[in-house]
């Protein structure tokens, strides 16, 4: 579920990039991740979502169960809830970052009466009578190392 293809993309990409690490190295940089799935075998079956435990913003979905079969069941049964919680948190964080650094000189309000908050990574490429074309410069460098 967590690695299903993301919707709306022209090519297949997973919804999330999952990296599995042992609990003993879940320290430092790993703990500062925004979204974490904590999965383990335990005497008790437990499903919970923790917020801002090691970093802010952060969502940690914790799954524990006595057997791998039971663990698989709860991971599958709770996947929609967990994915929606992570999506909501990611949306909030993206909006926070956009509002922190916005592109304000786009002319949409004056020209069309439209108020739009957009990232400062964009700039006006071309203006026509009834259009404004925005662009985000994407660096297309390539590094080649030869040994």
Predicted confidence at residue 121, as pLDDT, reads 87
Average pLDDT for 83-108: 88
pTM across the whole model = 0.72
Query: Where are the domains positioned within the chain?
Result: 23-100, 103-139
Cα 124 to Cα 143: distance, rounded to the nearest angstrom: 29
pLDDT recorded at residue 77: 95
Does the structure show a pLDDT above 80 at 146? Answer: no
Q: What's the whole-number average pLDDT of the chain? A: 88
SS3 of 49, please? strand
How many CB atoms neighbour CB 82 within 10 A?
20
Token pair of 26 as six digits: 């879940």
Q: Are 74 and 49 in contact (CB under 8 A)?
A: no
Q: What is the pLDDT of residue 40?
A: 94
Residue 120: other Cβ atoms inside 10 A: 13
d(C-alpha 4, C-alpha 127), whole Å: 39
Check residue 147 and give its pLDDT.
58
pLDDT of res. 39: 94
Per-residue pLDDT at 1 exceeds 80: no
Share of the chain above pLDDT 70, in %: 94
Measure the CA–CA gap between 127 and 105, rounded to whole angstroms.
Answer: 13
- Scanning the structure block, which residue is given the tokens 């020209």? 111
- What is each CA distance from 66 to 33, 48, 50, 71, in whole angstroms? 27, 16, 21, 7
Judge whether residue 59 has pLDDT over 70. yes
For residue 35, the model assigns a pLDDT of 92
């Amino acid at each position: 579920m967590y690695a299903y293809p993301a919707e709306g993309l022209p090519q297949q990409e997973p919804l999330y990039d999952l990296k599995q690490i042992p609990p003993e190295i879940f320290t430092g940089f790993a703990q500062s991740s925004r979204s974490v799935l904590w999965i383990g075998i335990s005497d008790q079956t437990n499903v919970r979502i923790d917020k801002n435990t090691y970093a802010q913003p952060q969502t940690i979905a914790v799954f524990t169960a006595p057997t791998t079969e039971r663990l698989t069941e709860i991971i599958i049964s709770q996947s929609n809830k967990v994915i929606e919680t992570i999506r909501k948190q990611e949306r909030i964080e993206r909006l926070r970052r956009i509002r922190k650094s916005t592109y304000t000189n786009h002319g949409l309000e004056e020209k069309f009466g439209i108020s739009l908050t957009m990232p400062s990574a964009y700039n006006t490429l071309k203006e026509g009578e009834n259009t404004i074309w925005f662009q985000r410069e994407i660096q297309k460098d390539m590094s080649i190392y030869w040994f």
